[in-house]
Chains A and B, each alone.
Chain A
Amino acid sequence: MMILLQFDSKTVREPVISQTTLEKKTLINIIRASVGAREGELIIEVDDSRADEIIEFIESKGVKVTKIYEKIIKDDEKCVHCGACISICPVEVFRLEYDYRVAADSERCVRCGVCVTVCPLKALELSKI
């Protein structure tokens, strides 16, 4: 499961991720990070079955946690099913259906954002959290 962590000026200086890894003996995959001097945002991926206890632990450190459900969104009004996105996505979110329409299995999306800049019809958008 993918989780958004928002750090404020205080928590941004704490080694929260390392603490979580050590304390909870779990692997954490950092998907995206933007960390500044006064605040930061991280998107991490954790094991689904342990998500709740990990979230609880991170929250106890004062970090704001949001579960990410929605990922890439394809606007079917705009999409012309050209398929330019298919070979670009690192985790094969897009595929041609039996009727040659392009379908998105957004559950797999790791929010890398590559496809958003590739679609010639601007039909792809990362959902707001």
Chain B
Amino acid sequence: MTGKSIEEINRRISEGSAVVVTAEEMKEIVEELGEEKAAKEVDVVTTGTFGAMCSSGVFLNFGHSDPPIKMKRIWLNDVEAYTGIAAVDAYLGVTQISDKLGMEYGGAHVIEDLVRGKEVELKAESYGTDCYPRKEIVTEIALEDLNQAEMVNPRNAYQRYKAATNSSNRILRTYMGTLLPNYGNVTFAGTGEISPLNNDPEYRTIGLGTRIFLCGAEGYVIGEGTQHSPPFGTLMVKGNLKEMDKKYMRAAVFPGYGVTMYIGIGIPIPVLDEEMARFTAVRDRDIETEIIDYAIPRRNRPVVRKVNYEELKSGKVEINGEEVRVSPLSSYSIAREIMIELKKRIEKGEFYLTSPVKRIPTKATFKPMRQKEIVVVRNLMSKAISIPENTTIVEASKIIIDKGVNHLPVVDESNTLKGIVTSWDIAKAVAKGKVERVSEVMTRKVITVYPDDPIELAADKLRKHNISALPVIDAKKKVLGLLSSEDLSRLIVKR
């Protein structure tokens, strides 16, 4: 296998003879010429992505006021930034929301306003020291007034992401967009086969020090991103906000969820050898992910099915035998513009490639948070005393008195939940007379929980529906137990 070096590719760029193609074009080239020839022919492949990247923000340095202030808390257009770093430095995160406008306006909007050349109100307060006597300041600043405005994003450019759907019967507003009830739609993020990390899945050329296109500016990869866990790799990146172009960054609001920012990233991939040609020929159908159910508000959301990016991009996927419409959330159209823009800059000799100073890990796991013991319904539930549907009111009242319980789940022969009767239902039936069987008075729409649900969720259901017990069932609606408010109160005593 013959190879070429990054120095060689850079020399060709300076001579104007480098062959630069977009990731989209590369797939075709490799299909036509094969890996070996394509590797000889092509020097650089440009990749791109443009999507909502919550884990982004900027470091700002305001310079000193007279008399000077050691900023303790600061706000930019009423959006708070973090100042626990020296006197006049701050970090403004894109998802921080405005104290006054809430989710309508946030850190991302402040950053976009700065890039658009608008003035932003800076408000700061402090406790005052001998060296920094000033206690407050309110002023207007623009991007050019800042000493530094450095975008530093802890987690960007997700290689791939889990797609989302919703099995519940209510609309969910999430960071994956609006999810319609009963598997009404699917949303997914990422640009698949043109996305940077998918074109260098072993991270041979993308690493610490790789020069990239970040929102129009020249930026750098400064390591793997937080939560990096291949093949769900991520990058930490930085770039100068003052050089950025509003075309490639955009503040956004996901209704009901909050503020985020669409960030545009392009990464040039040197085709060093055949292996890199093969990597950059990756197709959407080879990039797999899962559709998960956001109706379950747990860390491990259930997987609805496996899926690849080709199916997702087709606009329709099948779930339980039905066709469901799909929305992308990343902009393929702007990602393409980025690939083309980066290609132009390299061809014109305005952008050179770098070798990574250090590679990012190809193996890493994303650990869950260490929490105090999670108590789930199973830990607290008690035995359910279930009765068949044809039980008489007299029999039921006897069970209630003998066993000292208040709730009787009603089941069929296979122990499948059909309804529930409470001591109150029975008392009412006795008072009225004429009623014979429990099936006539039972509640058929029963609110239930699963054994692995956290107790917070069960408590929430009891409160929301103003009831005092929940049958615990499995996926087939078989009754496993009962969780009552008394069971829950045992927990408080225990703690």
B262 contacts the other chain (Cβ, under 8 Å)? yes
Q: Which bracket fits the contact residues of B? A: 20 to 34
Q: Say whether A83 contacts B255, CB under 8 Å.
A: no
Interface residues of A (CB under 8 A from B): 80-88, 92, 95-96, 99-102, 117-118, 120-122
Q: Say whether A85 contacts B327, CB under 8 Å.
A: yes
Inter-chain CA distance A92–B374, complex, in Å, is: 44
Least distance between B121 CB and chain A CB atoms (Å):
22
Q: Mark B311-348, 1 if CB is under 8 A from A, else 0.
A: 00001000000001111111111101000000000000
Q: In B257-293, which residues have CB < 8 Å from any A CB?
A: 260, 262
Q: Mark B218-257, 1 if CB is under 8 A from A, else 0.
A: 0000000000000000000000000000000010111100
Interface 9-residue window, one of B93-101, B180-188, B419-427, B441-449: B180-188
B313 to A, closest residue via Cβ: A96
Q: In B38-68, which residues have CB < 8 Å from any A CB?
A: 50-52
Known A96-B315, A118-B177: A86·B325 in contact at CB below 8 Å: yes
Q: Say whether B336 contacts A88, CB under 8 Å.
A: no
Inter-chain CA distance A102–B328, complex, in Å, is: 11
Q: Say whether B327 contacts A99, CB under 8 Å.
A: no
- Kindly identify which residue among A80, A92, A100, A102 contacts B250, using a CB–CB cutoff of 8 Å: A80
Interface of chain B, main secondary structure: strand
Point out the residues of chain A lying under 8 angstroms from B253, CB to CB: 120, 122
Q: Say whether B178 contacts A118, CB under 8 Å.
A: yes
Inter-chain CA distance A86–B255, complex, in Å, is: 16
Q: Please give me the 5 A-B residue pairs with the lowest Cβ-Cβ distance, nearest first.
A: A87-B185, A120-B252, A87-B325, A87-B327, A100-B332
Known A99-B333, A101-B333, A120-B52: A88·B252 in contact at CB below 8 Å: no
Inter-chain CA distance A95–B314, complex, in Å, is: 11
A83-B331, A84-B187, A87-B185 given. 6 additional CB < 8 A pairs? A80-B250, A80-B331, A82-B262, A82-B329, A86-B327, A100-B331
Q: Say whether A121 contacts B250, CB under 8 Å.
A: yes
Least distance between A96 CB and chain B CB atoms (Å):
7
Inter-chain CA distance A92–B329, complex, in Å, is: 17
Known A100-B336, A120-B52: A88·B255 in contact at CB below 8 Å: no
Point out the residues of chain A lying under 8 angstroms from B184, CB to CB: 87
Point out the residues of chain B lying under 8 angstroms from A100, CB to CB: 331-333, 336
Q: Say whether A120 contacts B177, CB under 8 Å.
A: yes
Most chain B Cβ neighbours within 10 Å, of A87, A117, A118: A87
Inter-chain CA distance A84–B332, complex, in Å, is: 12
Inter-chain CA distance A96–B398, complex, in Å, is: 65
Q: Say whether A84 contacts B327, CB under 8 Å.
A: yes
- Kindly identify which residue among A80, A84, A92, A96 contacts B50, using a CB–CB cutoff of 8 Å: A80
